[in-house]
Amino acid sequence: MTRELTHFINGEHVAGTSGRFSDVFDPSTGMVQARVPLASTDEVSAAIAAAEVAQVSWGETNPQKRARVLQKFIELVARDNEELARLLSSEHGKTVDDAKGDIQRGIEVIEFSLGAPHLLKGEYSWNAGGGIDVYSMRQPLGVVTGITPFNFPAMIPLWKAGPALAAGNAFILKPSERDPSVPLRLAELFLEAGLPAGVFSVVNGDKQAVDALLTDDRIKAVGFVGSTPIAQYIYETAAIHGKRAQCFGGAKNHMIVMPDADLDQVADALIGAGYGSAGERCMAISVAVPVGAETADALSAKLAERVAELRVGPALADDVDYGPLVSAEAVARVNGYIQQAVDEGATLLADGRGIVVPGFENGFYLGPTLFDNVTTDMTIYKEEVFGPVLIIARADDYEQALAMASDHEFGNGVAIFTRDGDAARDFSARVNVGMVGVNVPIPVPIAYHTFGGWKKSGFGDLNQHGPDAFRFYTKTKTVTSRWPSGIKEGASFVIPTMH
């Protein structure tokens, strides 16, 4: 029987009233398993109204008490980890182990957010001038929202919500309608942990709900992760309506392979980073850039050998390397990129189209695909594929490889594999990309550093998690204080200075 999902508003599951629904599939079988309501503007407004009321007392709660609620939430997620991971896998299609990683990376940001009592401390200058003291304080913005993608239904909502809640804001989550069950479950766990009703809400929906959040004056900040065109739209719309915004878009992450690199290590790293989660990661390595013909030929052979051994199957199976894509539309889109690359002259070394998984013939599967001799003018090089497709784009020398990563319109992540410290140091300093890995294939920073891409991969001045998150979710108030000393100085018409 198909489940009917809800919104989560003011501490309660609330049935949708718009009359509009979207199907939630099991990607492994291709079958509809649930329906999720798509909120109307009025439903979004109700969530905002509840959040606005709840935020007042939550914002006045001292940071240490807020941190204790988050600590309890961490304990509850650990208690229900297996259930959450399997639920996530059943709607997204990633393996259970990968789903546990999705949850864990989100929890690590919650753990960092426990430091709110320290991170929210302001500055103080005593006797800055003539008995005048100056101090600053960080205060919550009010009601903020996160609009998050299908590919990390636990991690990215927690990246957004953790610092926002710790800083004293109320948070409204608009998750992807493709896999909304884990976000709804997280809302239940926040409530169980002691978060007051209304402080964390989940409103399911499509563009109508997004636009309602973007245009409502009660929403003070917007965090988004998704495709670049939508990231740019949300950033611009939020700015027009006077909101803070941090919006992260697409990626085309390169791995530069120097001639001195350990090619077995490189090949293993590329296989995991390129095909893990069926390539549906914004930090997936999708472009291998071997330097020199000898390096390229050797790497191409090693990758082809490993690709042939990859196991594709249902998300809940224990013996697969990756599962299905999230939807039939995703499979069709990636198949189109593969055919276009063939038509444009790339060398197809492994073709994943048409794969059939016995017993799961209607699932959304695509086998691992590998191309060689891809050039920078080809569509498959220029655009984000977001599927299990790895391409080899050869470079004659180091400078050409550096330029390829630096000149691409996306600037999310990049890696270099080498034994040469000078090359690694030079590359890290010069490459025009926001996150760099040195012999690390997926350079996602740990929770107490910030995550963010450059160029068309990121819009906004402040990044996700780390100290930037607390800057983003707070406003700074500066107080200049002087207590009367009994001395009458008379009126002054000169601008105050500290002298």
Do 393 and 353 touch, CB atoms closer than 8 A? no
Strands 132-140 and 143-147: what pairing? unpaired
10 phi-psi bin (left φ>0, alpha ψ -120 to 50, beta other): left
Type of residue found at 71? Q
Do 351 and 338 touch, CB atoms closer than 8 A? yes
Please provide residue 152's backbone torsions phi and psi, each rounded to the nearest 5 degrees: -135, 75
The closest alpha carbon to 390, from 366, 360, 357, belongs to 366
Mark whether 282 is an active-site residue: yes
- As a residue count, the chain comes to 499
List strands edge to edge, sheet with 31-37. 3-4, 31-37, 21-26
CA 295/CA 259 separation, integer angstroms: 6
Q: Where are the beta strands (DSSP E) in 119-217?
A: 124-129, 132-140, 143-147, 170-174, 200-202
How many helices (H) and strands (E) the chain has is answered by 16, 23
Helices (H), 114-180: 116-119, 155-166
Of 164, 209, 210, 282, the active-site residue reads 282
In sequence order, what are the residues at sequence separation of 6 or more whose Cβ sits closer than 8 angstroms to the Cβ of residue 354? 367
H/E stretch holding 480 reads strand 474-482
Q: How far is CA 367 from the centre of its chain?
A: 25
In sequence order, what are the residues at sequence separation of 6 or more whose Cβ sits closer than 8 angstroms to the Cβ of residue 35? 2, 3, 4, 5, 21, 22, 23, 24
Q: Where are the beta strands (DSSP E) in 6-123?
A: 7-9, 12-14, 21-26, 31-37
CA 42/CA 419 separation, integer angstroms: 58
Question: Which residues are bridge partners to 23 per DSSP?
Answer: 35
For the stretch 250-278, what's the b/e string if a residue is b when 16 or more beta carbons lie within 10 angstroms of its beta carbon? bbbbbbbbbbebebeebbebbbbbbbbbb
**Which residues participate in catalysis according to the annotation?**
282
